A = this chain, B = another copy of it.
Amino acid sequence: MDEPAFTLSHTRIAIIGLGLMGGSLALALNGRCRALVGVDPDDSTRALARAREVTCFPELGAALDTDLLILATPVRSILSLLASLSDSHFVIRHAKRTFVIDLGSTKGLITSAMQTLPPHFDPLGGHPMCGKEVSGFAHADPELFRDKTFVLTPLPRTSPAALTLALELVAALGAQPLLLAPEQHDQLAATSSHLPYLAATALMQAAQSLNDDLLWAMTASGFRDTSRLAASDLTMMIDILLTNRPAILNSLTRYRTQLDSLFALIESSDPATLRAALAPAQAKRSALFPSPNGRYVLRSEAEWGGVGGEGEILDK
């Protein structure tokens, strides 16, 4: 591209969708760019955003004259928004170059749709790897992205200027950029994000299927954390499930294979085989997220295995 590089501080930004992601982005970027407007159809969302000094409007029209359009709605709404950007009214009224980035949770269908946008758009895909089990502007936090991975999926048509601006945006959020092909993102996200949601939801469903209210008195921090993602926003999750189907079904199949294997191991009742099967997952999880409270202390089976039984410890 021939134009001089855009920098964030000279960029007029419009964020479409002021939920948890879009709202957090608005709070993080407001005052750090030339102008920022938010668009959200929900009255109470706009009231909350205005109270945090975000200029906002109910309709997309207000966001048309901008340098960078950030699409921060659920995936299928992003697909609808991309379709309206190709609408002839829009093309006629706004032929100025506009960068487009989205924050959608799946990237394949979105980047395909971006590829067919009119030529004055300069799009790429994005996905910040962070979230909460709660949604909406009420939970927005300008620090949400700090130290998190922010995936960028450039298209064949993405200009170096667009990628540079996106990298500047990621840096401004305190996030770590990770460049991936859209298909690669979707395959990895199926296992890192979408499968945990399904695992958590099936856990809640299995617990509910017991129909015993005493169960809820028995749920401790383990159940709480393992089931947390089941509380995720349904619209967001349904859009994910419908737009990343093959990769999600593939990762569910791999998950069921592991559960089947655990089932057989428990049935066979051999402690050594069980330990050998469980240990790699235990070691990897402990290494991946070290405890904040100090070193992990593993008590070996041998330590306790010899206690009692023959009564010899009473003679020591």
Contact = CB atoms under 8 A, between A and B. Distances in A.
A87 interface: yes
Contact of A208 (B231, B260, B284): B284
A299 B245 contact: no
Contacts of A220: 129-131, 148-149, 192-193
Contact of A314 (B80, B87, B207, B285): B87
Nearest to A267: B249
Interface string A291-316: 10111111111011101111101111
A95 interface: no
Interface of A: 17, 19, 41-42, 59-61, 64, 73-74, 76-77, 80-84, 87-90, 93, 129-139, 148-149, 151, 176, 178, 180, 184-185, 188-189, 191-193, 195-210, 212, 214-238, 241-242, 245, 248-249, 251-263, 266-267, 269, 271, 274-275, 278-282, 284-286, 288-289, 291, 293-301, 303-305, 307-311, 313-316
Given A205-B258, A235-B301, 5 more contacts: A84-B313, A134-B293, A188-B210, A230-B282, A232-B282
What are the nearest 9 A-B pairs in CB distance?
Answer: A136-B297, A84-B308, A87-B311, A80-B308, A204-B281, A196-B226, A77-B304, A202-B258, A192-B218
